Amino acid sequence: MYNYEVGGNAVEQTASEAIADIAQNRTMFVQKLTADDAVKPEAVYNLTSVDQVFEHYKPEISVEFENPDGSTKNEDLHFNNVGDFGVNNITKQSPLLADLNFQQDQYQKIMKQMKTNKLMKNAMDNPETKAAFIDALNALIQELDNAK
């Protein structure tokens, strides 16, 4: 009947409340959606869905990324819905992140080949063939660098 907790006091209700408790299985996340603070805070009414909030505020942020060579690059990220905060959607917006993601995929494919390909595995187990393979890869890298 009553919802008592440790250290609580029983207070009789004198009127019905118009505000319902938030269910225990819900999470409220509050976040600043713009990079700049408002000069004068404004109350915005009649935004009844998350999509309407994104449409009204049009959140975006300028992010400084570090290139593999150590230089920095600024990129603007725009968010049109909650899904845009996911890794894949942020990666799609950033050419630098998309390139790094592509490189990671290629490295994973190479690692898979090195672990599953029996010829490659045997070549890596033998120190002489491993050194020859590394030399061939270095020569390929040099050739690609010279082609730029």
- Kindly report, residue by residue over 47-67, the tens digit of the pLDDT: 888 888 889 888 888 889 998
Q: Would you say residue 105 has pLDDT above 90? A: yes
Dist CA 64 CA 67 (whole Å): 10
The ranges assigned to domains in the chain are 28-107, 117-148
pLDDT in tens, 10-43: 666 666 656 666 677 766 666 676 677 778 877 7
d(Cα 129, Cα 133) in Å, to the nearest integer? 6
pTM over 0.85: no
